[in-house]
Amino acid sequence: MATATKSEYRARDIEVLEGLEAVRRRPAMYIGDTTARGLHHLVWEIVDNSVDEFLVGEADRVVVTLHRDGASITVSDNGRGIPVDKHPKTKKSALELILTTLHAGGKFSDKNYARSGGLHGVGASVVNALSEEMVATVRRDGYEWTQRYKRGKPTTPVKKVRPFRGRGTTIFFRPDPQIFRRTQFSAETIRQHLEDISYIHGGLKIVFQDETKGETHELHHPQGVAAYLEKLTAEEQKRPVHDQVFAVQRDDGKTRIELVMRWTEATDEQIRSYVNGIRTHAGGTHESGLRAGIAKAVRNYMEVHEIKQKGLTITNDDIREGVLGILSVFLSNPVFQGQTKEKLNNPEMQGMVEGLVRPALETWLNNNPSIADAVIGRIVLAARARLASRTAASEIRRKSASRKNGLPGKLLDCRSTNPDESELFIVEGQSAGGSAGMGRDSRTQAVLPLKGKVLNTESLTASRIMANQEIRDLVETLGTGIGPDFDIRKLRYGRVILLMDADSDGYHISTLLLTFFFRHMRDLIRQEKLYIAQPPLYRIVVGNETYYARDDAHKEEILASLPANRKVEISRFKGLGEMTPQQLKETTLDPKNRTLLKVEIESQLEADRTFQQLLGKDASERYRIIMEEASLVDDLDV
């Protein structure tokens, strides 16, 4: 346990962080974390600024270069160039002001940027603060200008280098190894991200120069999101229910909404949403409006055409099953959840998207009766499959004596016989299983503790897998069978939740289980039945109030929100077994308070490649990764 303040608290204890020191002190607040994800977020921040020039019609080309060392990046565009003249209030060059000051930029009003992804005004300055070295080169007003920085501080004044007829901005930066444990960029991660952007911003030319491999990729897709949808359909190997794509867009000068979608025979729903070109992985109000618009349009169509199925109730999930869509929204004042911009919070966007999609989709269905028949047939099949699943589950009579005798003795089952309301926690170890068993709601929550490391099922046959006691207990508990014999209708629980320690062993066990589910129970993932629990890593006590933090970034966020004069006590949980049943209930088991991560297959090909790389028989790629990462390990469990 650590104490953040001393018993004597006076004015001299107050810290004033100047310039960008706050960013360096708590980088997770600005880029999410300091892992590979946060490292690449630096690239996205600079690229977003170049894309903003495209959005206002001032640029049409962005060049991103990954240099030979693999640890430095240059982003260049042919936009207007960052202003270099003196700011009237600060008397500093605008270039220096933008790159060294939080919340300084030209995007807080719509005078220069009507639609921008970088409205926090912290992106470029945060990258500067977290870089060992940055060089800004600006071409405008007939000259080329430059300034150098080190860890957020200028090392040279803004210099006029030479006469230059062109225009644009070039930013070179090298992330700081004092901040990031690993500063090597992934060329494939950058290429994929840039390719996504080139689809969302149809017409923008992006060049990715990968000097580590001597490759150049030119990414240009004038057909935009329509071409993106075709690419995803092929990559995900999803068979379309109809060939013609539903497409709708609206642009009133302030807000632009563009949607392309189709129904497929897949059993999952996949919506990729973007706001001002930024991928919103966690969705938001624009996605909520889309889902509501699809459901209402289909229901209105069925009602007008008096389409009814006796004894069958159509749910919104039935309607959206198999939908593959791309939603791109551009607006002047996006409100994101956090600096990493993964969720849109603008409340008005839900009504705007729904108001566009609902009438347009209903009209499209009316004008294309053959497509409408195929879509409605697909929806009815989804509803019948769901009904069959519920009927089969009821027929199993999972509480009967004969079935109960076939269940593992260590299973702490729940009392409910309704799969729709019950859930199974797969827990690491007997100690954690005991805490979960005492903290759960025994009516709807079951607990299955697993002993030791789970079998690595990658490349194993079903017979070898079922010879393992832990896997056999898991399969018998779920009741679905595996592989070709898997039957989702026999699933005994509506949710299957992995509950592991927040350490290397826990992550390893989660990966092994995800491998098993991906290879042998994939429909469990496709039908959104598999989740990962997020137990807290830290307990923060402030007076009579207690806070729980999921990770280091969440801890920093909580600490930043607390008054400066409060005494804070921080303790770190070493594992689930350290938590009392009440703590585990309050933070991880209770649906009112917990956070669950839904397991989804964003790209089946990428998931397949990842599992083969991490757990397959060929150890060469694994050896390469270990050798690259070995020098970065601070604390190794052996």
CA distance 612 to 505: 20
Burial of 359 (0-12, 13-18, 19+ CB in 10 A): middle
State how far the alpha carbon of 189 is from the alpha carbons of 25, 185, 634, in Å: 27, 8, 25
User: Considering only CA atoms, which of 218, 219, 239 is closest in space to residue 227?
Assistant: 219
Spatial strand order of the sheet with 256-263 comes to 246-251, 256-263, 323-330, 270-275, 278-279
| One-letter amino acid of 260 | V
Burial of 273 (0-12, 13-18, 19+ CB in 10 A): buried
Q: Given 428, 473, 556, 586, which residue is catalytic?
A: 428
User: Considering only CA atoms, which of 170, 172, 177 is closest in space to residue 139?
Assistant: 170
Q: Given 176, 268, 287, 501, which residue is catalytic?
A: 501
CA distance 342 to 329: 14
Task: Give the total residue count for the chain.
Answer: 638
CA distance 259 to 364: 13
505 is a catalytic site residue = yes
Tokens of 215: 């490759």
501 is a catalytic site residue = yes
- Answer yes or no: are the C-beta atoms of 345 and 285 closer than 8 Å: yes
- Answer yes or no: are the C-beta atoms of 96 and 158 closer than 8 Å: yes
Q: What angle do CA 555, 28, 3 make, to 5 degrees?
A: 35
Tokens of 92: 């500093």
Residues 310-349, buried b or exposed e (16+ Cβ, 10 A)? Answer: eeeebeeebbbbbbbbbbbbbbbebbbeebbbbbbebeeb
Q: Given 141, 195, 503, 590, which residue is catalytic?
A: 503
Tokens of 620: 């060469």
Burial of 369 (0-12, 13-18, 19+ CB in 10 A): exposed
Residue 623: partners with Cβ closer than 8 Å, 6 or more residues away: none
Residue 245: partners with Cβ closer than 8 Å, 6 or more residues away: 226, 229, 260, 261, 262
- Answer yes or no: are the C-beta atoms of 207 and 64 closer than 8 Å: yes
CA distance 38 to 265: 36
- Answer yes or no: are the C-beta atoms of 493 and 446 closer than 8 Å: yes
Report residue 199 CA to chain centroid gap: 19
User: Considering only CA atoms, which of 251, 250, 191, 242 is closest in space to residue 216?
Assistant: 191
Q: Given 505, 528, 552, 569, which residue is catalytic?
A: 505
Active site positions, annotated? 428, 501, 503, 505
